[in-house]
Amino acid sequence: MSNIPLAERMRPHNLNDYVGQEHLVGSKGVIREMLSRGTLTSMILWGPPGVGKTTLARVIANELSRPFYTLSAISSGVKDVREVIEKAKSQKFFNAPSPILFIDEIHRFSKSQQDSLLGAVEQGVFTLIGATTENPSFEVITPLLSRCQVYILKPLSNEELELLFVRATTTDLELKGYQFELKEKDALFRFSGGDARKLYNIVELLVSTQGINNQVLITNKAVVDVLQQNLALYDKNGEQHYDMISAFIKSVRGSDPNAAVYWLARMIEGGEDPEFIARRLVILASEDIGLANPNAFLMATSCFQAVHLVGMPESRIILSETTIYLATSPKSNSAYEAIGKAQEIVKETGDLPVPLHLRNAPTKLMKNIGYGVDYKYAHSYQGNFVEQEFLPDKITGTTIYTPQNNSREQEIAARIKLLWKSKYNK
């Protein structure tokens, strides 16, 4: 067998051979249209492993015939970024299009490393393409993010995985010597998890264990057996990564501290990034505990800061303490439900005018036309409250926040009823 992995041998070089991401590279895809015009903007490709982020960046460079530089955020520092910038500057002539700088796992770049990219991106020294498995809103600095389009890549469908399987087994020079029978495909696609690289890895394992007589019979049992023998139980960059964090979050949400700490331990033993876990706890504290115990959000935020400062192995204790606290806290998703409902109302009703008495009146003209008139300053009234309208007339009396059945929010419900009588209790 070749020393070059099958995934690398099968990497497409043009857009027509690229499989998946129809919403981006299909006939009406935004990236295909961009390439057809010969233009390119800096972009962040966000999606799980093995869906074609690196491949797409290389295809874009090939389609536009542009120089292609690549850096890995794991092994590159500010010095490496500056060297690429200088090289790109020295090779840029007159009106020649900018080269492409591809940064894999850009979410691992520190703030200073990301800052070092800003000037070159602004000046057009190169066009940046970053790849990330993490939400760029949290991982990429705002000035850099504002200069990039974010495109979301989706896991490959079973149909797309099967197309890749057929293509590999019929066109790869090494695999063409084998006869493949895809008798059962459920396990093959399930364990690939929408990841082309995993699919190719499984195929190579099957060939190495079954291909003695150039016959490869693929069944569910054959796939399970070969994976149990060869693959690690936890792949922090693959399907298990998402399954584990899902089980962890659902255990905390379900108020089971025992299960929550078990899944936490599984992730820690598997080498999961502790800051990734801590970030999820912050989100969970707001989304699933919320106003039932506001201290949960403060604790989760402190947990993230502490994990960032302390590092492993001590962070495991901080994560365990926070996990148990959140799992045993009362639960409420009322804040999550409220903002969702409010956004739906905004979409349905559009840009309703701000009532005149709530408008800002920094100039005499604005005051003369009624801005701010009749506004009642709450602190000038007994109990720091006075009844007045704060919603646009069209949606007056609309209940958006509904307190849930826990002791803290029942106190909130009682206060709302005391202040607003029946206005928000219809």
Give per-residue pLDDT as tens, 366-424: 677 777 778 888 888 888 888 888 888 888 888 888 889 988 889 888 888 888 888 88
**CB 323 within 8 Å of CB 264:** yes
**CB 281 within 8 Å of CB 327:** no
Alpha-carbon distance values, 220 to 8, 142, 234 (Å): 25, 46, 20
Following CA atoms 192, 50, 237, 282 in sequence, which dihedral angle do they give, to the nearest 10 degrees?
A: -110
Identify the three-state secondary structure at position 396.
coil
Residue 322 has a pLDDT of 96
Residue 231 has a pLDDT of 46
Between 150 and 360, the more confident residue is 150
One domain for residues 302 and 358:
no
Q: Is residue 339 part of a domain?
A: no
DSSP labels, 166-224: HHHHHH-TTGGGSEEEES--HHHHHHHTT-HHHHHHHHHHHHHHHGGGSEEEE-HHHHH
* 89 pLDDT more than 50: yes
One domain for residues 142 and 179:
no
Looking at every residue in the chain, the average pLDDT score rounds to: 85
Residue 147: give the domain boundaries: 20-152
b (16+ CB within 10 A) / e for 61-95: bebbebbbbbbebeebeeeebeebbebbeeebeee
One domain for residues 283 and 226:
no
Which has the minimum average pLDDT: 167-176, 219-228, 239-248, 335-344?
239-248
One domain for residues 178 and 146:
no
Q: Where among 230, 258, 284 does a domain terminate?
A: 230
For the whole model, what pTM was predicted? 0.55
Retrieve residue 364's tokens: 């005499």
Residues, the chain? 426
One domain for residues 99 and 69:
yes
One domain for residues 64 and 175:
no
Residue 426 has a pLDDT of 55
Looking at residue 181, which CATH number applies to its domain? Answer: 1.10.8.60
**CB 100 within 8 Å of CB 68:** yes
* 350 pLDDT more than 50: yes
**CB 165 within 8 Å of CB 81:** no
Retrieve residue 339's tokens: 């903002």
> Which class for 22: exposed (0-12), middle (13-18), buried (19 or more C-beta within 10 A)?
middle
CB atoms within 10 A of CB 118: 14
Retrieve residue 318's tokens: 């901080």
Residue 227 has a pLDDT of 78
Determine the Cα angle at 12 with ends 243 and 168, to 5°.
70
Structural domains counted in the chain: 4
Q: Of the segments 40-54, 76-90, 117-131, 319-333, which one has the largest average pLDDT value?
A: 319-333
Residue 212 has a pLDDT of 72
Share of the chain above pLDDT 90, in %: 22
One domain for residues 41 and 126:
yes
One domain for residues 32 and 77:
yes
* 92 pLDDT more than 70: no
Mean pLDDT of the 292-316 span: 92
Q: Please, which residues bridge with residue 72 across strands? A: 104
One domain for residues 184 and 286:
no
One domain for residues 27 and 135:
yes
Give per-residue pLDDT as tens, 14-49: 888 898 888 998 888 889 988 888 888 889 999 888
One domain for residues 226 and 244:
no
Give per-residue pLDDT as tens, 179-235: 888 888 888 888 888 888 889 988 888 888 876 778 888 888 888 888 766 544 445
Between 146 and 303, the more confident residue is 303
